[in-house]
Structure 1
Amino acid sequence: MQPIHAIPDIHADPDRLARSLDAAEPGARIAFLGDFIDALPGQAAVSDRAVLERVRDLVETDRAVAVMGNHELNAILFHRLGIDGAALRRHSPRNRAQHRSFVADFGIMTPQALGWTDWFLTLPLWREEDGLRLVHACWSAPAIETVAARRPDGRLREADLPEIAARSTRFGRAVQLLVTGPEQRLPEGMGFHDSHGSLRRRVRLAWWRHGAKSWRDAALSVPDPEELPRTALPARGDLTFYPKGAPPVLCGHYKMRGAPCIEARNVACLDYPGTPCIYRWRGEARLMEEHLQAV
């Protein structure tokens, strides 16, 4: 069986992409977990164009596979208009800031921007390769079933975009869950500041932490956990934890802190911006710390 080396969120960093590819063993197939675009705050090397050209070449020559990330989906919506003539994703100062590096390279709604976002639509929301599952943010069987009923290959179409932008249907919400993961509103009056300094009232939840009891146990992507309440996490009937006996899943998205580690035997988030890594999968059903490779 051909080994698979999974590379998480590159965010327009050509140096990180080069180091990640250099860390892969000869003969391994590359699996990208989405979020190729939109540089992070304080990032030294920035080129959406260089990253996208390298990734697309690898995918189109069958040396790599890739799934769509939330930044790709956001860009698709940002550069397209609804029937009312307004962008499907608002051109607000916050959204413009998120897409700053992509816009710097390709502009807004230019032929180049539309061409690249057309290519994003060729990326599936999930993949399964030889028993390894790949998704950007959350492997949810109900969400995948909902999307697959309309789009069996997991690839979106232009006609799907308005309801995804509005999150107005079960289909639209299922798409968003796969690329952004489950979230829950914090208790009244509570919030935290994300990596961009924006105040958020909803927090991402770790869908693989079966034993999480408190907000701090369950929360993801919170730079300062001290901002979260110490109270117990309320019961959530719509949060489905990933089954312990299911095939292994690799995801990105969550901007994990500290040293890369395997939190669950069959789920690993690889997105560690401060200590980048890849995962070298060789067919194991139980994910292994020694297969994490720093880049």
Structure 2
Amino acid sequence: MNAFDVIPDIHADPGRLESSLDAAEPGAHLALLGDFIDALPGQAAVSDRTVLVRVRDLIETGRAVAVMGNHELNAVLFHRLGIDGAALRRHSARNMAQHRSFVADFGIMTLEALGWTDWFLSLPLWLERDGLRLVHACWSAPAVETIAARRPDGRLRPEDLPEIATRSSRFGRAVQMLVTGPELTLPEGHGFTDSHGAMRRRVRLAWWRHGAARWREAALSVPRPEELPDAPIPRRPNFAFYDQEAPPVLCGHYKMQGAPRIEAHNVACLDYPASPCLYRWRGESRLSPAHLATLDG
């Protein structure tokens, strides 16, 4: 049985990556949860190039495994054209801002940008090793099954990209589910301000909080939950919480607040930008707070 030290979203921060590697225990395999690129607002140290070169070396030398994050998928789409000649991901002001640090290092649709985004396609959307599941945002059994029917190894191909960009097929929507997670539109007249200062009407849902029935209980990535309605969430026929008897899953993506914690016995989100951490998985079927390690000790 392998021991895995699992590292969440790095977002072009070389210092955070090296601190994470220093915190890993000798002999443990590394598992990386995607979102290697695109610096966060206000981030001090920024180098997409440094992070990507280091991560690729870790994978190619067998020290690490990794899954694709939504920022890698977004970059793949941003730097490729559809049959209509337009970028598969619009070069809008908002999208340009998200990819600002990657573009600063590699440009737009340059040979380097295309080379790195080709490499992103070598990253699987999910991994399952020795009873541990790894995914960037959400482990959805129906979505995994849908993708695996076409791509058994979980790796996308260029011909898949147009339907992923438009979410025009069950396959495309399944891919987006794994890298962005379930979302739900707020009732009319409601919205919230995200961590980038943008107003949003769609809320990410905690797919592991089985008892969450109200917006403020189930929402993720909302800096001020009081902005959400204090009301029940409508039933969603196409959404199911993660099976409580299923193997443990580790994910990133959600920019959690407060001190790192285990919220469910078989699911943990490790993405705490203000309190970086990793998880030391040693074969347990129930995740343990004792296996969370913060980078400051």
Please give the range of the TM-score, normalised by the shorter of the 2 chains. over 0.9
Query: What stretches of structure 1 of length at least 5 have no aligned partner?
Result: none
1:219 aligns with 219
Rounded to whole Å, the distance in 1 between the matches of 2:179 and 2:82 is 21
Letter in 1 for 2:174: A
2:54 aligns with 54
Rounded to whole Å, the distance in 2 between the matches of 1:98 and 1:2 is 35
Rounded to whole Å, the distance in 1 between the matches of 2:79 and 2:5 is 31
- The Cα of 1:226 is off from its aligned counterpart by 1.1
Letter in 1 for 2:61: T
TM-score by length of 2: 0.99
1:257 aligns with 257
Rounded to whole Å, the distance in 2 between the matches of 1:59 and 1:129 is 15
Alignment of 1:135-154 (within 5 A): 135-154=135-154
| CA distances 1:12-41 after superposition (whole Å, capped 9, x unpaired) | 000000000000000100000000000000
Letter in 2 for 1:150: R
1:120 aligns with 120
1:36 aligns with 36
2:6 aligns with 6
Rounded to whole Å, the distance in 1 between the matches of 2:240 and 2:88 is 29
Rounded to whole Å, the distance in 1 between the matches of 2:140 and 2:62 is 27
Residue 148 of structure 2 aligns to a residue whose secondary structure is helix
1:157 aligns with 157
Rounded to whole Å, the distance in 2 between the matches of 1:235 and 1:149 is 28
| CA distances 1:113-132 after superposition (whole Å, capped 9, x unpaired) | 00000000000000001110
Residue 134 of structure 2 aligns to a residue whose secondary structure is strand
1:23 aligns with 23
2:205 aligns with 205
Rounded to whole Å, the distance in 2 between the matches of 1:4 and 1:122 is 21
| CA distances 1:69-122 after superposition (whole Å, capped 9, x unpaired) | 000000000000000000000000000000000000000000000000000000
Alignment: residue pair count: 295
Query: What stretches of structure 2 of length at least 5 have no aligned partner?
Result: none
Q: Which moved more, 1:77-86 or 1:235-244?
A: 235-244
Rounded to whole Å, the distance in 2 between the matches of 1:84 and 1:193 is 34
Letter in 2 for 1:155: R
1:63 aligns with 63
Residue 117 of structure 1 aligns to a residue whose secondary structure is helix
2:170 aligns with 170
| CA distances 1:231-290 after superposition (whole Å, capped 9, x unpaired) | 111111111110001000000000000000000000000000000000000000000001
Q: In 2, are the aligned partners of 1:3 and 1:281 still within 8 Å (CA)?
A: yes
Q: In 2, are the aligned partners of 1:47 and 1:105 still within 8 Å (CA)?
A: yes
2:268 aligns with 268
- The Cα of 1:2 is off from its aligned counterpart by 2.6
Residue 279 of structure 2 aligns to a residue whose secondary structure is strand
Letter in 2 for 1:222: V
CA RMSD, 1 decimal = 0.4
| CA distances 1:213-246 after superposition (whole Å, capped 9, x unpaired) | 1100000000111110001111111111100010
2:85 aligns with 85
| CA distances 1:106-164 after superposition (whole Å, capped 9, x unpaired) | 00000000000000000000000111000000000000000000000000000000000
Rounded to whole Å, the distance in 1 between the matches of 2:13 and 2:169 is 35
Q: Does 1:238 align with 2:241?
A: no
Identity %: 78
Residue 39 of structure 1 aligns to a residue whose secondary structure is coil
Letter in 1 for 2:216: R
Letter in 2 for 1:148: A
Q: In 2, are the aligned partners of 1:125 and 1:179 still within 8 Å (CA)?
A: yes
Residue 262 of structure 1 aligns to a residue whose secondary structure is coil
Rounded to whole Å, the distance in 1 between the matches of 2:184 and 2:71 is 20
Q: In 2, are the aligned partners of 1:2 and 1:27 still within 8 Å (CA)?
A: no
Q: In 2, are the aligned partners of 1:48 and 1:102 still within 8 Å (CA)?
A: yes
1:286 aligns with 286
Letter in 2 for 1:74: N
Q: In 2, are the aligned partners of 1:215 and 1:232 still within 8 Å (CA)?
A: yes
TM-score by length of 1: 1.00
Q: In 2, are the aligned partners of 1:107 and 1:113 still within 8 Å (CA)?
A: yes
